[in-house]
Amino acid sequence: MRPNVLKEAMHQLRTITTTQLLFSSPPAILRQPPPSQFYSHHHHHQRSMATMSSNDSNLDAIFEQKRLLRSKVRKQLKAMNTTQRSQQDAAIQNSVLESSWFKSSERLCAYVSCSALREVDTSKILSDILCDQEKEGGGLIRKKLYVPRVEDKNSYMRMLNISTTEDLIANSMNILEPSPVDCDGNQRQDVMDSNTPVDLILLPGLAFDRSGRRLGRSGGYYDMFLKRYQELSMERKWKLPLLVALAYDLQILDDGAIPVAPHDIPVDALVSPTGVIPITPAAKERM
């Protein structure tokens, strides 16, 4: 075989293999013929290329739908007046603070809200958790709190333990995050390194529907973190934490309005200004 023909064939093989790894389930990958059979399976791979381009166009369509939906919801959030926002913030946070599932949680992850991003406020929830930690006795459950720190632009986010709001510092985007080391110079505990599971994760998002679909801000940070935490939980045979998203009224859309990509992770429940919406059996059991 002439060198340039061989080079082209090997390039085709690499392209196909990479695409199958991205879009096939593991059993499908195992069924692919080994490289030595490539030339006798030319037609098989032509079919694979067709499947690959259909997967590509499906994903492209999903990303485009998400982009348009993000743009629409962002405009609606910007149009909310401050009175309306603060009323909904208070109602949502009170619903969380008064709930049995929140009161009984011992270890949780929660986001630190950013007003510029029009995220539902969590300052009252966080101060409630951190103030309880400072109280002596009183029979209250001392909660262990982990909050997000974005480490890079490749969707890598860690959840680090804090014990006071003074542990938070503004990053380059002016979003409050935990410093990687505490005031004594010790590394903060990462939730992935803890020997005990968290029982609750409070999530932000741009939009949700009543079947639990979540539209994030396109960074993929929460999907990546939740996938890693689910894998850790399964490895250690832990019960999965309850995933609860906080949402303004306008952020809760009709079922099916949010397109879903393979990596998207649904939430167990929503908390809106009108109350808690449990979705999954796990949420209905605990709420």
| 63-73 pLDDT, tens digit each | 899 999 999 99
59 part of a folded domain? no
Q: Does residue 36 carry a pLDDT above 90?
A: no
> Domain for residue 42, yes or no?
no
CA 173 to chain centre: 19
Residue 251 pLDDT > 80: yes
Binned at pLDDT 50, 70 and 90, residue 193 comes out as very high
Looking at the domain assignment, is residue 142 inside a domain? yes
Specify the range with the lowest mean pLDDT, choosing from 13-17, 125-129, 218-222, 250-254.
13-17
Range of the domain at 248: 82-286
pLDDT of 148 above 90:
yes
Rounded-to-10 torsion of CA 123, 252, 219, 193: 50
The structure's pTM equals 0.78
Label residue 14 by pLDDT band (50, 70, 90).
very low
Q: How many whole angstroms separate alpha carbon 54 and alpha carbon 180?
A: 43
DSSP 25-91: -HHHHHHSPPGGGTGGGHHHHHHHHHHHHHHHHHHHHHHHHHHHHHHHHHHHHHHS-HHHHHHHHHH
Q: Is residue 67 part of a domain?
A: no
Q: Is residue 24 part of a domain?
A: no
- When pLDDT is cut at 50, 70 and 90, the band that residue 139 belongs to is low
Beta bridge partners of 145: 108, 162
CA–CA gap between residue 120 and residue 279 (Å, rounded): 20
pLDDT at 211 over 50: yes
Give residue-wise pLDDT tens across range 82-106. 999 999 999 999 999 999 999 999 9
Most confident of 136-150, 161-175, 177-191, 231-245: 231-245
| Residue 83, token pair as written in the block | 């009175």
**Is the residue at 39 inside a domain?**
no
155 pLDDT band (50/70/90 cuts)?
confident
The answer as to whether 47 is a domain residue is: no
The answer to whether residue 251 is domain-embedded is yes
Please tell me the total count of domains within the chain: 1
The mean-pLDDT minimum among 41-50, 153-162, 200-209, 252-261 falls in 41-50
CATH number of the domain encompassing residue 86: 3.40.50.10420
